[in-house]
Amino acid sequence: MAMASSASVVYHHQLQFPKTPHLSFQSQFRPLQRFPSSFSTSTTIPASSALLLDSDSSTQQVQAIEEDFFACPICYEPLIRKGPSGFNLSAIYRSGFKCKRCKKSYSSKDMYLDLTITTGLRDYTEIQPVRTELFRSPLVSFLYERGWRQNFSRSGFPGPDEEFNMAQEYFTSAKGGCLVDVSCGSGLFSRKFAKSGTYSGVVALDFSENMLRQCYDFIKKDDILLTTNLALVRADVSRLPFSSGSVDAVHAGAALHCWPSPSNAVAEIARVLRSGGVFVGTTFLRYTSSTPWFIRPFRERIAQTYSNLTEEEIEDLCKSCGLTNYSCKIQQSFIMFSAQKP
């Protein structure tokens, strides 16, 4: 949602990984010189998603997505589902979920499935960081795609269309699998991933109830999205409600700097990714190697409010969580980075 030690670089030319995303001729992105200019491409379809190759197995696709996919955010046990089959909004909305182990129940609200630990609590309240509460605001949720996100271009963000195309090239090896768009905000990229037809299922996940409601407002105006395998889920990025090794791809657009603990979040993303799964994220850098020394103290002050990291810190964080094949593209304060589960 548009809601930290540097490590030495080791090249793994023998590992297959999607090639570095293509950039338009007009793009001002500069690849870091210490990384190879390209990677060998891999179009391996995950074993769990091989059903997509058979045009007569649409029912099996849905069953494969549904079975043991959602998990309890408390004990990570797969949830028992009662209700109509299907991974679309309507089917999930009419379904109830219950944990096999702790017996906690989860249900849908306003077309999104609430899989937070605090769901259903009556008396307990939890104070969230200011930046978290900001994006739970109805006004910010409404404005996000109506002017807020467009201002990111001032910091070097190339725009949703090019960012989506770049991410899609990183996700080449995840075609046919299930993608989770964490901190999805109003679903700007979730909707693009779902409409691309590339994935067997897409989960638009955010902690903000109002962002998810705004996402649904956009979806209900599109008949295609209403029948697509697209689920809206409220969850905490540091406590993802998925079984370990069950997700083929995770996307986090303009999100990492908003997370209360980026390390906890990336560790969770690494946990839920299956072997070969890909994590792609974009964020605002605190500063780059080209940032003048006299500007850096001001950027450090900003980092006290948001978790703006340096490129070296992002790479170190991904590696410390067991992810490999790190790669990135940088333009001004914008970075798109990618890493893979071994």
For residue 37, pLDDT over 50 is answered with no
Cα–Cα distances in angstroms (integers) from residue 139 to residues 75, 134, 135, 144, 147, in the given order: 34, 9, 9, 9, 12
- Name the helix (H) or strand (E) containing 228: none
Helix (H, G, I), strand (E, B) or coil at 30: strand
Residues composing the chain: 342
Predicted confidence (pLDDT) per residue in 203-261, tens digit: 999 999 999 999 999 999 999 999 999 999 999 999 999 999 999 999 999 999 999 99
For residue 24, pLDDT over 60 is answered with no
Assess contact for 185 and 211: CB atoms under 8 A: yes
CA max distance for the chain: 62
Give the domain ranges of the chain: 127-341
For residue 99, pLDDT over 60 is answered with yes
Look over the chain and give the mean of its residue pLDDT values, rounded to a whole number: 81
Residue 101, Cβ neighbours under 10 Å: how many?
A: 11
pLDDT on residue 110: 83
Predicted confidence (pLDDT) per residue in 121-174, tens digit: 888 888 777 777 888 889 999 999 999 999 999 999 999 999 999 999 999 999
CA distance 228 to 328: 31
pLDDT on residue 109: 85
CA distance 335 to 313: 12
pLDDT on residue 2: 43
pLDDT on residue 30: 43
CA distance 27 to 166: 12
Q: Which residue has tokens 């269309």?
A: 161
Strand-pair partners of 250 = 180, 279
Please give the average per-residue pLDDT across 265-289, as a whole number: 92
Please give the average per-residue pLDDT across 39-45, as a whole number: 34
Indicate the fold that domain 127-341 takes in CATH.
Rossmann fold (3.40.50)
pTM of the model as a whole: 0.79
pLDDT band at 313 (very low <50, low <70, confident <90, very high): very high
The conformation of residue 232, written as its DSSP 8-state character, comes to E
Predicted confidence (pLDDT) per residue in 160-215, tens digit: 999 999 999 999 999 999 999 999 999 999 999 999 999 999 999 999 999 999 99
Q: How far is CA 85 from the centre of its chain?
A: 25
